[in-house]
């Protein structure tokens, strides 16, 4: 079953597409043009259709990509990061990989698998690059779970959590 958030996004996407389609179609705006069009329709049927119907413009809908196309950093979120390690080492991640606590990986609730993030510890300025390969964290108030290796690089293993800023490097 599709989750409610996903359904809302689908409805919004369909609505936006319909709006763009309607906005891009040419329409008659004056009474004179409507009268002229009615005369054309009555006088020139084409293959069982009226001339007006045969002249309806086709609409090409462009695909819109929301992923960044360059490798510049884009600020994404700030919040609390935690890390997970020995208890999960060797277990399956949400994308099917085996979790390695010594790899530069992370768990995020919504970002696509493979997204690379720059994670910066706001308390000491240390940062690292991680790849999203799992889902989580499942503790309220946290925005990302880091592997032990990534947590060490930003200096958050002693406290267990840290205030961080997430930036998308590439997606």
Q: Clarify whether residues 48 and 123 are in a common domain.
A: no
| This prediction's pTM | 0.57
> Greater confidence, 72 or 97?
97
Look-up of token digits 């600020």 = 75
- Do 83 and 43 share a structural domain? no
CATH number at residue 98: 2.40.40.10
pLDDT tens by residue, 128-169? 999 999 999 999 999 999 999 999 999 999 999 999 999 999
pLDDT of residue 99: 96
Same domain, 45 and 120: no
Query: What does the pLDDT look like over 4-15, one tens digit per residue?
Result: 566 666 656 665
Rounded to 5 degrees, φ, ψ at 24 are -90, -15
Within-domain flag for 102 = yes
**How many structural domains comprise the chain?**
2
8-state DSSP, 57: P
Q: Report the C-alpha gap between 154 and 108 in whole angstroms.
A: 17
112 plus 141 within the same structural domain: yes
Q: What is the pLDDT of residue 37?
A: 46
- Note the pLDDT tens digit of each residue in 95-123: 999 999 999 999 999 999 999 999 999 99
Q: Same structural domain for residues 11 and 47?
A: yes
| Residue 80 sits in the same domain as residue 158 | yes
When pLDDT is cut at 50, 70 and 90, the band that residue 171 belongs to is very low
**Is residue 152 a part of any domain in this protein?**
yes
Find out whether 153 and 124 touch, Cβ atoms under 8 Å: no
**φ and ψ of 154, to 5 deg:** -100, 5
DSSP assignment of 82-116, as one string?
EE--TTTTTSB-TTSPBP-TTSSEEE-SSSPTT-E
| Rounded CA separation 114/116 (Å) | 6
For 41, the domain range is 4-54
Is residue 158 a contact partner of residue 164, using CB atoms and an 8 Å limit?
Answer: no
**Positive/negative CA dihedral, 109, 114, 115, 119:** positive
d(CA 7, CA 117): 27
């Amino acid at each position: 079953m599709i989750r409610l958030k996903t359904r809302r996004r689908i409805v919004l996407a369909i609505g936006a597409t319909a709006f763009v389609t309607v906005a891009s179609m040419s329409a008659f705006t004056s009474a004179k043009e409507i009268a002229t069009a009615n005369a054309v329709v009555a006088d020139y049927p084409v293959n069982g259709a009226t001339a007006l119907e045969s002249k309806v413009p086709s609409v090409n809908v462009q695909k819109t990509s929301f992923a960044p196309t360059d490798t510049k950093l884009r600020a994404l979120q700030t919040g609390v990061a935690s890390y997970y390690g020995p208890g999960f080492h060797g277990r399956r991640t949400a994308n099917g990989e085996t979790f390695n606590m010594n790899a530069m990986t992370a768990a995020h609730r919504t970002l696509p698998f493979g997204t690379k993030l720059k994670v910066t510890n706001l308390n000491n300025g240390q940062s690292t690059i991680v790849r999203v390969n799992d889902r989580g964290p499942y503790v309220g108030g946290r925005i990302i779970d880091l592997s032990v290796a990534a947590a060490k690089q930003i200096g958050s293993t002693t406290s267990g959590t840290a205030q961080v800023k997430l930036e998308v490097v590439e997606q």
